A and B are shown apart, each in its own frame.
Chain A
Amino acid sequence: MTGRTWAIEAHGLTKRYRGKVALDGVDLQVSAGTVHGLLGPNGAGKTTTVRILTTLTRVDGGTASVAGYDVQRQSRQVRRNIGLTGQQTTVDDLLSARQNLIMFGRLFRLDRAAARRRADELLEFFGLEEAPGRSPKWFSGGMRRRLDLAASLILAPKVLFLDEPTTGLDPAGRREVWQAIRTMATSGTTVLLTTHYLDEADKLCDRVSVIDRGRNFVEDTPAGLKRRIGDEQLEVSIAHPDQLERAGALVGRITGTDPVVDREENTVTAPVADGVEALTSVAAAVRAESVGITDIGLRRPTLDEAFLQLTDGSVQPVGDTALEGSKR
């Protein structure tokens, strides 16, 4: 490696599961000490990529190294330098929180005293010190996930892999886990996280790779990605279908665009550069002209819409989850 050190470097990863293509030449480069997001819909190949990088799955083609070690030929060294928190929370509900961390510490080959010390440190670090003797069964989703994260940090790994760390958590739980990930990131650990939430990538990541159908689409900063995805959309829901045309004309006049009028949903949608300005003007105008509305708001394009744009519409958004589903 010359000049820059990549904590994760992958070139042309390919993988098939029973004839189905899961990865079709994925590249990935993550600088040490950064948080990198792997963004994509279900079935995009996110989990497969993580499984390959964490030595769980053999690759069919391409090369990958993590922390400077080849994932195929030096899997033992790779395992010594990584932490993995998979999609499922793997904590043992029949052990206490502290016993869980001690058990994992022992399996990470710390001696008994060191495993205990490390367990206590991590419980404190993750704000779980009040509950060391309790079974994680009674924890909130966010607490369970934090305990799960703690278990992958026992050896202070150089690279941490988080596969959909907040899927299935309530908003409070998500915030807790985000906070924990941010704290870990400031300590210099390189983090690769997969997500299908744009806002999660936005909040946590330095850079984001968008993949779909096992291929790279875009790599950028979250801000750059949002720029590419496009302007905010102003969406107005109209109370009476017979006022739809008038509302459309009104929104078009104020925003200076050609809005999309959806007759099924009774909505008018227009891309806007200054969202707040457009929102207030349109709200005032519909009131002045007595157009009944049931809702008005700004939204970003969803990921599916974004994929359509990122790929110039030549690739349909992937609705099928078959690939992700057929994997272990």
Chain B
Amino acid sequence: MSKKNTGIQDADAMSPRGLEPVETLASRALWAVKDCWTIVAQEFTHLVRQPGTFAWQLGMPVIMVLMFVYVFGSAMDVTGMGAGEGYVDYAMPGMFAMTMAFGLMNTAFAVTLNKEKGFMDRFRSMPMSPSAAVTGRGVADLLHAAIDLAIIAGLALVVGWRPGGNLAETLLAFGLLLWLRLALIFVGVYLGLLINNTEIAGNLFAVVFPLGFISSVFAPPGMMPGWLGALAAWNPVSSTANAIRELFHTPGIESFEVQYWIDGHAVIGALVWPALITLAFVPLAVRQFKNLSR
């Protein structure tokens, strides 16, 4: 085929099509990582170009922090030390965990948007790693979550929260938070692929709010009516919140009654819950991704 036009002709020389591609498992894995990184870079260019969206997504947790510390905080007595006493220390770790849970919406929304705008189809018609469109999103969201955490933790320090553990415990606590977020990324990817338009994706808060609130984030499940308390205690978000409270040596929590087995094994819960969620949702997300070519 003759290519006589400018701009098209010399493309052959540089196109990978010229070389007969030898694809080993290793080279495919390498390309999957590179393609994934290209998508991550795209997401971060978005962040720089439109910091408003980023700020908007952070707005909710920030307002919560201020509300629960300054509006309701003084009336809250969860530690039995008196109204308002120690509530900042109790609520802040909960807030961190809740921020991770709310991130689920952003992941799902972004995946649905990519699908709706035709990006998913374009990517899938290209010789790139097919999964990169989705894994890139996941990695970008995890980095995004780390930035969110840093900002919320900074705010928490300003309002008087202090981690009581040593450096290793503190780092482990933040690690557990990201571990939860990672598991929820898979849930978000699955939901994003399942949902067909962003209008529905926008309604996901109806799922995410109970996940965030019916938990030990703002109050110990032991203070709730029995059935709700059971739900809240076994909520994965509670395990993470309680585990990091232990790691931050939050004052007063040792006085909580251990009603359910999970109450006494928060760190195990914070490790195992996200692992189970991941095991369940990775195959679901993969199947949903394959369903795109139905």
Contacts and interface: CB of A to CB of B under 8 A. Distances in A.
B11 A155 contact: yes
A87 B122 CA distance: 10
Contacts of A58: 293-294
B12 interface: yes
B219 to A, nearest CB: 40
A81 B1 CA distance: 13
Nearest to A87: B118
Contacts of B124: 55-56
Nearest to B41: A103
B1 A57 contact: no
Interface residues of A, number: 52
A187 interface: yes
B38 A183 contact: no
Given A79-B127, A94-B49, A107-B126, A88 B118 contact: yes
A56 B125 contact: yes
A279 to B, nearest CB: 41
A267 interface: no
Given A56-B293, A95-B49, A186-B4, A82 B125 contact: yes
Interface stretch (B15-23, B170-178, B248-256): B15-23
Interface in B195-247: 196
Contacts of A33: 1
Nearest to B39: A107
Interface string B9-45: 1111011110001010000000100110011011001
Contact of B121 (A84, A106, A108, A183): A84
Given A94-B50, A156-B15, A187 B125 contact: no
Nearest first, the 6 closest Cβ-Cβ pairs linking A and B are A125-B7, A187-B5, A88-B118, A156-B11, A84-B125, A79-B127
Interface of A: 32-33, 51, 54-58, 76, 79-82, 84, 86-90, 92, 94-95, 99, 103-104, 106-110, 114, 117-118, 121-122, 124-125, 135, 151-156, 158, 183-184, 186-189, 328
Interface of B: 1-12, 14-17, 21, 23, 31, 34-35, 38-39, 41-42, 45-46, 49-50, 115, 117-119, 121-128, 132, 196, 292-294
